[in-house]
Amino acid sequence: MANPGKNPAVRLEGPDGDGIATVWIDCPDSKVNTLSVDLLPEFEALFSKIGADSRIKAVVIASGKDAGFIAGANIDDLGLVRTVAEGAKLSKNAQDSFRKLEKLGIPTVAAIHGDCLGGGLELALACTARVATDHRKTKLALPEVMLGLLPGGGGTVRLPKLIGLANALDMMLTGKNIRASKALKLGLIDAAVPAGKLLESARKLAVDLAHGKPAHAKKKPNVQEEVQTFLLEGNQLGRRVVLHEARKKVLKQTKGLYPAPLKILDVIGKGTYEAEAQGFGELLLTAESHGLQHLFHAITALKKDNGPGTEGVTAPKVTRVGILGAGLMGAGVGTVLADQGYTVRLKDRDHEAVGRGLDYARKVFGKARKRKVYGDAGYDERMARISGGTDYSGFGRCEMVIEAVFEDLGLKQRMVDDIEKVTQVGGIFASNTSSLPIADIAAKAKHPERVIGMHFFSPVEKMPLVEIIVTPKTAPEVTAATVAVARKMGKHVIVVNDCPGFYTTRALVPYMTEAIFLAVEGFALESIDEAATTHGFPVGPITLMDEVGIDVGLKVMKVMKEHYHDRMQFPPDISQALIDEGRLGRKNNKGFFKYENGKSVLEKGEKVVDETVYKHLPNGAATQAGNLPEMAERMILGLCNEAALCLQDGTLRDAYAGDLGAVMGIGFPPFEGGPFRYMDRIGVKTVVEKLKALEAKHGKRFKPCQLLLDKAAKGERFF
């Protein structure tokens, strides 16, 4: 679909014999098109040129890149804004440009393939009509909320008018991607066509519009739909009700920690371009937006990091992957791999376990089919890629084997030995351990250079991170191949150096152990969770222990205690007593909280603590609520100090990886941007002072690391 030849950023072609001109958008020296401050004047000049040419009867706007339409605004422009007025002007400039497009006086058709996001969709909304390809890569979205912002190019005004208030709120408050089939149903686009027919279809629609024909036949709503639309959206009272209910839902989900969704509701309530520009400017200066923008920069920077020594290395191709262990983790990994086109072979001890692993894939693929991500053929194709058994049949041809067995060093070493005997292709052995050193797992290997860590997070199909762990012996081509597989799985990747617990587990342990210290001191379990969630963690540490499994947590804690007892402090070990009582967490309906059939028992919407668990704590059921900010700070500062230690000792290769790993892997509040950005925000000197005060009160676990002391003394930041 790309226009041949080298194009400037914006170029006019035509008109042709039917009076149809084409505007090609093709930002030079970039794989994708983005809307930058410098690009808007080019658009305006081109629109003026079109308006002055009486030969042009209609315009098609298309991308000169195969990768997509427009991927949104250039985020670097946002970093230059210093005042609310400057931010509002940025929005107003975009609004003015798109208004000129809207008021050309002739039909305009956006021809969309690939990403049509943010400002790209706002440009398309300013067109008379939109045609998109039905390709799986085509996605339409207004994701500004994910950067702590709102649409600033007229989207808050145009989108509700086009698809209705409720649908527009859903798009803007979630930032979620909309595929062509859903976009057509919503009325967001006027046609969904095969990729090879895009320009032809867009031109035909432009000709029809130029001759006064409608873009498409509007479906006449039934009486019930008409009444519902009028009651909820067709009058001011109904709109207020919809916005009020949306606000209640937002506050429940975000606890008021994210200003962008609330500002979006305010701006849509006013319904003006002026309110949009002012709201955009105000949000752009918030700490939350700065943190989320920082996270975006971390993601962008780490896309280029394939690991140490990989520059110029060609990664061997991986098409077949063996999975050792068909439990929740192994089945999850296998399911995502099969979804992305890999041939997958599961192995477990018995056929029942293998069957449960295959059932897991059926369940995940079945949900996707139900959501119409793909049809029956797509479901069958994916299930055909994944198989299983109780022996190593099929493993000989696997270029990669991922083990997801119990956290037992001897067992993992035997797995390495078995695979080295079986494989015929010199395959990669990737361990999904969460704490055991990869060098120890590879200690008896004939080819330690082929052994690498590949730490997934559960549930694999939902969690966005893979932590890849390399030893001094890991071959660069093995690292590059493993990174490539993880990225093809749709994951964000951080590559760290080997040590017990790597980065994410090491950073998480002080956070989790501090939660137990708080429980031992007599703070209520629900208060400990609340302290974390009111600061922005998705779940509290007590809930997390139940979710991961108390038995799994104990195994990890034993590894960490063995290696870090000299500087870490560990609370009284209550885990073994809980396990002896058969209290493993949600998986067996018995943990810190109450469960029935794997689901939390709720009272007034809140999880219910199993009061019998307090018999394992020194103060019994005599608990206190405590000061939530102080409790949260104890947990967070321990995590931050350990993150800095990981950077100091070289486990982390840069601070960006530390921030992305903490947010995507262990739930650090996204609006803070990660632990390193958090320390920059409050000041490294302040962090050190707080850690020293906690050390004096609670002990060595809060002793600030040397890197923090040095930065505090020099007044330095991490970024």
Instruction: Report the alpha-carbon distance of residue 320 to residue 342 in Å, rounded.
Output: 6
What is the rounded average pLDDT of the residues 86-115?
Answer: 96
CB atoms within 10 A of CB 255: 13
pLDDT at 5: 43
What is the per-residue pLDDT across 512-550, written as a single tens digit (0 to 9) for each?
999 999 999 999 999 999 999 999 999 999 999 999 899
Instruction: Report the alpha-carbon distance of residue 50 to residue 317 in Å, rounded.
Output: 49
Helix residue ranges per DSSP H, 649-683: 655-666, 675-682
In the CATH hierarchy, which fold is given to the domain comprising 320-500?
Answer: Rossmann fold (3.40.50)
Instruction: Report the alpha-carbon distance of residue 185 to residue 181 in Å, rounded.
Output: 6
CB atoms within 10 A of CB 224: 8
- Is 467 one of the annotated active-site residues of the chain? yes
Reduced 3-state DSSP string for 250-271: HHHHHCCCCHHHHHHHHHHHHC
pLDDT at 623: 85
Among 127-136, 222-231, 278-287, 288-297, which is the least confidently predicted range? 222-231
Among 121-125, 563-567, 707-711, which is the least confidently predicted range? 563-567
Mean pLDDT rounded to a whole number for the chain: 93
Beta bridge partners of 192: 132
Is the predicted pLDDT of residue 218 greater than 70, yes or no? no
Instruction: Report the alpha-carbon distance of residue 647 to residue 595 in Å, rounded.
Output: 39
**CA terminus-to-terminus distance, the chain:** 40
Is the predicted pLDDT of residue 237 greater than 70, yes or no? yes
Burial of 396 (0-12, 13-18, 19+ CB in 10 A): middle
Instruction: Report the alpha-carbon distance of residue 373 to residue 369 in Å, rounded.
Output: 6
What is the rounded average pLDDT of the residues 392-414?
Answer: 95
Burial of 703 (0-12, 13-18, 19+ CB in 10 A): middle
Dihedral pair phi/psi, residue 321, rounded to 5°: -130, 130
**Identity of the residue numbered 693:** A
Is the predicted pLDDT of residue 326 greater than 90, yes or no? yes
Question: 325 pLDDT band (50/70/90 cuts)?
Answer: very high
DSSP string for residues in 174-222: H---B-HHHHHHHTSSSEEE-GGGHHHHHHHHHHHHHTT--SSPPPPPP
**Identity of the residue numbered 300:** T
- Matching CATH number, 10-214+221-285, of 3.40.50.360, 3.40.50.1980, 3.40.190.10, 3.90.226.10: 3.90.226.10
Q: Which two tokens stand for residue 226?
A: 């008409």
Is the predicted pLDDT of residue 319 greater than 90, yes or no? yes
Evaluate whether 10-214+221-285 and 505-650+653-714 have a shared fold. Answer: no
What is the rounded average pLDDT of the residues 647-676?
Answer: 97
Among 172-181, 216-225, 277-286, which is the least confidently predicted range? 216-225
For the ranges 469-473, 599-603, 624-628, the maximum mean pLDDT occurs at 469-473
- Matching CATH number, 505-650+653-714, of 1.10.10.10, 1.10.150.20, 1.10.1040.50, 1.10.3210.10: 1.10.1040.50
Among candidate residues 467, 526, 530, 672, the one labeled active-site is 467
Question: 2 pLDDT band (50/70/90 cuts)?
Answer: very low
Per-residue b or e along 435-461, where b marks 16 or more CB atoms closer than 10 Å to that residue's CB: bbbbbbbbeebebbbbbbbbbbbbbbb
What is the per-residue pLDDT across 330-365, written as a single tens digit (0 to 9) for each?
999 999 999 999 999 999 999 999 999 999 999 999
* Domain spans of the chain, in order of start: 10-214+221-285, 320-500, 505-650+653-714
Q: What is the pTM of this model?
A: 0.91
CA atoms within 13 A on the CB side of 274: 1
Instruction: Report the alpha-carbon distance of residue 707 to residue 686 in Å, rounded.
Output: 14
Contact 568, 509 (CB under 8 A): yes
**How large a percentage of the chain has pLDDT more than 90?**
85
Is the predicted pLDDT of residue 3 greater than 50, yes or no? no
> How far is CA 560 from each of CA 104, 432, 524, 554, 667, rounded to the nearest angstrom?
66, 17, 26, 10, 20
